[in-house]
Structure 1
């Protein structure tokens, strides 16, 4: 089962590639291009280019490139059909499918389960807003600043204290309810609701599809499980899902910072405080899959929970992730150990300051040791320094270890040379080596002409012929562009390899060049190349070559340039066309 081609094109036309890429990359305008840091590889100088007029993107550092569908496929790690479906959902286009195929059935099944979850979100939400049974829940949320617009924005809900109200109200199959974790068969063989007497926090994926729930009992409940989360399902994996990422990702990209919390109310608290770039794990520790996801959005990961409690194993993972994914892990320190959800109501400015000035993860751990140590006696200073060195040695970069050793020496009045020697070995002594970003090559006249053909077709197309291009890849790129009347998207569907690379790169660059001047330069280069490499003893060819050399000089004369260009193009075609 595939999406019909007409619908794919409708989605492509209705979607702004700048808006889509802008959810993940901070773009700045440079001429007609939009440029930013590539989300697919680590770089410090922006080589990632986006063009609204062609609907293409290209990175000159890692060579990633494509259209809006390719971007969604790569950034969200989904197949083509899923990328089209997600974009269609954003622009409100209903898709139609051809029949056949297991993948199509799997996709249809996923969509069915998402529809069940969407219905449940609305049912719980309306129950919270309107049901008399939810009065205590509304009062609880109001007391915590989570009512009204906040409850509506985050689609908070209420699961009533009944056995099967949801299961009987949704009018969906028991199999679907069981598969998404909303119901189960009890000992009597009847369907029963999985969540009862709980405030419901719906969990959405990156694209805004509801995939799971977290439920919290009200204060005074006799239920020993304060929180209950959805079990894993075909549409929900805890290790790859972050609560709030659907609301936060745009601000994460803008700030180049993501805040990772422990709980759902912490995320909402950050939003209430005007810091809408917070997410939370769903009942698990932060995983590598989470970091891999977040790396696409931001370089700085700020932990808004007690990071030291995670232990040495977590520290080793954080350092490894910093190196592997080129992220920087920080810790936000909150006054008096208060959680973000409470600070959002009592002191939102403190919440903002905590994430505006976070501490590097290793610095946070070292400071914890120094604060807890006794530096009033020689013995206390020695023990404190030893404990700090033990923490520092967890870090894999010897240069980082040396700098923190100097800080510890200053705090404990221990000899800096001794502490530096103590951290030289470490647990991993190899320094982190960062690769320099690839540089964009200087492009020649042929490439400039192809780019202008894409972006300024009417101005340059009449002056170009295939024989002007020296390399086969440029000739193929030119030929297919002409066949498609300059439509680069259709042209790219017809080629691969080097020609496709030429078109990809040319589709996103911006040359502030005069098309006529560039065309004449290309004509002159082609004529000189032909004269240099293909001499002839034929008297007629010799006369033609002599005239071509004379006409070349006329290209520099404004009054004669157009006529000279036409004459040279005719000569070039005649010279390169095989005789019958």
Structure 2
């Protein structure tokens, strides 16, 4: 919802109070080129840095980062802003969260300063967060300090988990007791809160509360900020393994935890994901730990559940490439095939773990170095995976071969590289006894032509579609003149003081008037206030900064800009008046036409 203030159009929603001076200091402590350069490949071009826009698909770079003015602008989609706005858009976070991200990067402690200027609302789920934090400490202490825990540590050591790994992943052990955790926490927390945590079950028969996890190795599951929100428990004793209990058990869904959204190890993997733009997606916690042992820090797991659209949206905030590293067995390969459709907006590669092993099994039989080599140097494309996955089991069935060629040709034809397409055609021909290279190529060529025809049809549709161009592309002479004036007011304090003393002055452009009101009131336009404006006003601000004017104001420059602006406004009014005369005349309203004509003549005399 938008509403009016003295600052013009602003965005609805609550922005927590924070010291504006501190926001500016944080912003000035980083270089926007460095921040954006971590996720966008930038090339220096004059005073700008250019690259492919991260906010829309394009082949020719139109995304500009202007270092001397510390803002970005895309001439393709029109998005623009400062370092805070970029992080808001790219990471899909709030303004306040973007300030925290920049402060963290700059090493500026923010929390104490924020608390001085705001009353932070209590998280309604804070008690659940506290319960999980204490539960994680409890489980970790049981693993490290008890006889039962020592046995579990021996089991983990056999699987390659050192004390350092146990500490890094905060692994614990739930006691082989019915209510040990409950008795520990019941002294500090309300029973209703404990039951809402998902860590306990109530027996309807005995009306007694039991721990949900008993005698399991405990893996804390954290959210993006590193807060424990759930647990997954793994069986480990010989008896439990022989009884074929479920290997893993997760916390049920709670106000904190949605297993279809959260990803194991994401909070620790996130910095590397943002730097490398890629993530290894695995099936299990032990696979992620195996990858970490191999030096791969950007691996996450989908909590042992199938990949969901929510998982994909979560990943999209931090990575553009997904390396699927699922088990090498049939179930794992089927999971990869299902995931590819959900990951169609990502660049996807696949690691094929040999001998139907998972990464954890592979590292047990080989070494961390061997796993690192497998993960980094033995990836295949999604197309190559599908060539083998979709291949008919019965190669002697000609009808099955024909259906396969038709299906795989559609996939091969979508590859942007002709060289890659030729390699894929060779692969398919080698797999089939009844097809040679040229027959497969003919099928792929047919799909290429169909794709080309579809693209041409889409291009025609786009040409006839009317769209509103970004402000920087759809600029009138009036806006141009007023933008130059606003640029001078923003960069020359003495001129702003002169305009304050002039008294009433108004901009014709609504967005510029909103900026002018703020400028007169506060003497500057800072990131905090800018974040409260609507998108068009913010775009206009950055369009003003794009004005390439000399540093010094020339003699009579301001008067000439204002005179030009006023002349353009009068010409526009004359055009409106002429249009009114024509419309009134066409409608037969002679009196209205004559009245409009008199006004037009008077206006022209005033212009002489």
**Taking structure 2 as the reference length, what is the TM-score of the superposition?**
0.68
SS in 1 for 2:540: helix
Q: 2:194 aligns with which of 177, 180, 183?
A: 177
d(CA) in 2 for partners of 1:397 and 1:138?
52
SS in 2 for 1:352: helix
Deviation of residue 201 (structure 1)? 1.0
Q: Tell whether 2:269 aligns with 1:251.
A: no
Deviation of residue 213 (structure 1)? 0.9
Q: 1:117 aligns with which of 110, 132, 135?
A: 132
User: What are the residue-to-residue correspondences of 1:527-546 with 2, within 5 Å?
Assistant: 527=563
CA deviation map 1:465-503 (0-9, x unaligned): 997977554354344334321233355367546433212
Q: Tell whether 2:359 aligns with 1:333.
A: no
Aligned counterpart, 1:260:
281
Contact 1:459/1:515, CA 8 A, preserved across alignment: no
Deviation of residue 32 (structure 1)? 8.6
**Taking structure 1 as the reference length, what is the TM-score of the superposition?**
0.71
Residues 212, 68 of structure 1: alpha-carbon distance in 2 compared, 3 angstrom cutoff: farther
CA deviation map 1:415-436 (0-9, x unaligned): 444334556788xx75786999
Residues 394, 306 of structure 1: alpha-carbon distance in 2 compared, 3 angstrom cutoff: farther
Q: 1:477 aligns with which of 515, 539, 545?
A: 515
Q: 1:239 aligns with which of 244, 257, 260?
A: 260
User: What are the residue-to-residue correspondences of 1:500-519 with 2, within 5 Å?
Assistant: 500-505=538-543, 514-516=550-552
Aligned counterpart, 1:351:
371
SS in 2 for 1:240: coil
SS in 1 for 2:238: coil
Residues 35, 192 of structure 1: alpha-carbon distance in 2 compared, 3 angstrom cutoff: farther
SS in 2 for 1:119: helix
Contact 1:202/1:212, CA 8 A, preserved across alignment: yes
Deviation of residue 128 (structure 1)? 2.2
Q: Tell whether 2:291 aligns with 1:276.
A: no
Aligned counterpart, 1:546:
none
Q: 1:209 aligns with which of 209, 227, 247?
A: 227
* Bigger Cα displacement from structure 2, 266-275 vs 227-236: 266-275
Q: Tell whether 2:23 aligns with 1:25.
A: no
Contact 1:182/1:195, CA 8 A, preserved across alignment: yes
User: What are the residue-to-residue correspondences of 1:359-398 with 2, within 5 Å?
Assistant: 359-367=380-388, 379=396, 385-386=401-402, 388-389=404-405, 392=408, 395=411
Aligned counterpart, 1:551:
none
d(CA) in 2 for partners of 1:519 and 1:191?
84
Q: Tell whether 2:211 aligns with 1:198.
A: no
Aligned counterpart, 1:290:
311
Q: CA RMSD in A?
A: 4.9
Contact 1:398/1:424, CA 8 A, preserved across alignment: no
d(CA) in 1 for partners of 2:335 and 2:154?
41
Work out the number of aligned pairs and report it: 517
Deviation of residue 262 (structure 1)? 0.6
Contact 2:326/2:335, CA 8 A, preserved across alignment: no
Aligned counterpart, 2:466:
none
Contact 2:326/2:333, CA 8 A, preserved across alignment: no
SS in 1 for 2:323: strand
d(CA) in 2 for partners of 1:110 and 1:88?
26
Deviation of residue 122 (structure 1)? 2.1
Residues 472, 497 of structure 1: alpha-carbon distance in 2 compared, 3 angstrom cutoff: same
Q: Tell whether 2:207 aligns with 1:189.
A: yes
* Bigger Cα displacement from structure 2, 397-406 vs 209-218: 397-406
